[in-house]
Amino acid sequence: MITIYDLAKQTGFSAPTISKALNGNGKLSEETRQTILEAAKKAGYTANMAAKSLSTKHSRLIGVILEDVAMKRGFEHPLFGGLLNKFRNEIEMAGYDLLFLSKHFNEGMSYIDHCRYRDVEGILVVNPIDDDEEMKSLGDCGIPCVSTNEFIPGVCTVVSDNETAGKMAAQVFFEAGHSKIGFLGAPFRENSPAAIERFKGFKAEYESYGLEFDERYLEICNAWWNQAGYEGMKKLYERCPDITAVFVVCDALAFGAMKYLLEIGKSIPDDISIIGFDDDTTVLRAAPTLSTFRQDRDRIAQLASEVLLQEIAGMPAPQVVRVPVQYINRSSVRRFNRVSAMAF
């Protein structure tokens, strides 16, 4: 391993001068800078980040909270995997590396201790454990922080515009001639906007048509996973067999719901129309292909990295950044003809 001192010897300059040349700061004659850079290149010099980090207090590390227990699926999450790809690219362009925060060291080191241990400069919260007490203190731990789902006090959240999406879902169904529309939700957790906000928008739009939303048409599944969608759909359908459409709060649940409906001999969309949420990478595999709202993973990741980098640079961050969602019409929504549509 070759160091700054080796370069110093080779070029005849001092270590601090080498450092300045390499980092492009301080005043140096163009000539010596060139000499040094060439020597560094020739020698195959690579800086040692541990030393840099120790003396500058800048580790160039971004901590990521991404859990894989229970229904959290770590890298396998259908939304967060793509988001992380993009976030990683953005952050690397800025010279940072990702470091996954963990509580698995020494009988349960906290996330914040892990950050101190590695001198992490910023934190991306993707997927914390439900109701993790530590989340409450993240906002004032002194490390810049951004979240891409959960609301955390004092932390900027970059998240899809769920409420508008909920409204759009209701609109799509209304315009296609539906009026008996079910809502298949997931647990309404205070800090997790996804399910609550989508329902809020959906209900508001529904009622803006002068109708009252019957709470019997709302079924909250007990998780975000296929089987929960299957069971939720069963309950909803058995309670309200008159529904002609269902807005499902995520694609995974929608697949479960479709499975149930197909099993009992219903046709989608002829008997029952479905709209999902996420635009899961595998949506195209199932038949019928699911109409859904695409969450813009790339945009969320990009904005999250921008906000975080700005915070690291000392600038303030907004409390929430909303990212528009796109409705993708495939083949799970039936359009009634004009007459039927006017009939409701």
Partner DNA sequence: CTGAAAGCGCTTACAG
Task: Rank residues 15 and 341 by Cβ distance to DNA and give the closer one.
Answer: 15
> What residues are paired with 278 via a beta bridge?
294
Task: Give which of a copy of itself, DNA, none residue 285 binds (C-beta under 5 to 8 Å, depending on kind).
Answer: a copy of itself
Which of residues 117 and 344 has its CB atom nearest to DNA in the complex?
117
How are strands ordered across the β-sheet holding 245-248?
218-220, 181-185, 245-248, 273-278, 291-294, 326-328
List the structure tokens of 141.
Answer: 């731990």
* Interacting positions 107-136 with DNA (CB under 7 A): none
> Among residues 281, 311, 283, which one has the least CA distance to residue 139?
311
Least Å distance, CB 64 to DNA, is 23
Taking residue 287's Cβ as centre, other Cβ atoms within 10 Å add up to: 11
Residue 99 interacts with a copy of itself (CB under 8 A): yes or no: yes
d(CA 8, CA 205): 70
Q: Give the whole-angstrom CA distance, residue 58 versus residue 325.
A: 36
Task: Answer with the entry of a copy of itself, DNA, none that 226 interacts with (C-beta below 5 to 8 A by kind).
Answer: a copy of itself
Q: Which of the listed partners (a copy of itself, DNA, none) does 93 bind, with a CB threshold of 5 to 8 Å by partner kind? A: a copy of itself
C-alpha distances (whole Å) from 111 to each of 118, 119, 140, 233 are 11, 12, 13, 38
Least distance between DNA and beta carbon 19 (Å): 3
The DSSP string of 189-206 is -TT-HHHHHHHHHHHHHH
Query: With binding defined as CB under 7 A, does residue 105 bind DNA?
Result: no
**Of the listed pieces 43-51, 105-113, 192-200, 233-241, which binds DNA according to CB under 7 A?**
43-51
CB of 221 to a copy of itself, least distance (A): 16
Binding site for a copy of itself (CB under 8 A): 1, 46-51, 53-54, 59, 68, 73-76, 80-82, 84-85, 88-89, 92-93, 95, 97-100, 102, 104-105, 109, 113, 116-119, 226, 255, 259, 262, 280-282, 284-287
